[in-house]
Amino acid sequence: MREKPSQSDATRRHWMMIIGAATLVRLLYFLWFLSSPLHGYYFADHLYYRNWGMQIAGGDWFG
């Protein structure tokens, strides 16, 4: 005779399903974003920090 799964097993299974679904949604959103026209477009804050990082990477350590 098979044992009935305990409440903690069912709870763990539900959490794993939720985490799996959330990960899948996040992955699909990321793949959609890579093919969108906004990919590679830098907004004001993004552009500032990107340029600053490029300066540091280029050897200008003190900005």
Please say if the pLDDT value at position 19 is more than 60.
yes
User: CA nearest 54: which of 14, 46, 22, 38?
Assistant: 46
Radius of gyration of the chain (CA): 22
Phi and psi based region of residue 4 (left: phi greater than 0; alpha: psi -120 to 50; beta: remaining): beta
Query: How far apart (Å, rounded) are the C-alpha atoms in residues 48 and 50?
Result: 5
The sign of the torsion formed by the CA atoms of 28, 31, 35, 40 equals positive
Tens of pLDDT, residue by residue over 29-54, are: 999 988 888 777 767 788 888 889 99
Please say if the pLDDT value at position 24 is more than 90.
yes
Please say if the pLDDT value at position 5 is more than 70.
no
Q: What is the pLDDT of residue 1?
A: 56
Across the range 6-10, mean pLDDT stands at 82
Is 15 in contact with 21 (CB distance < 8 Å)? Answer: no
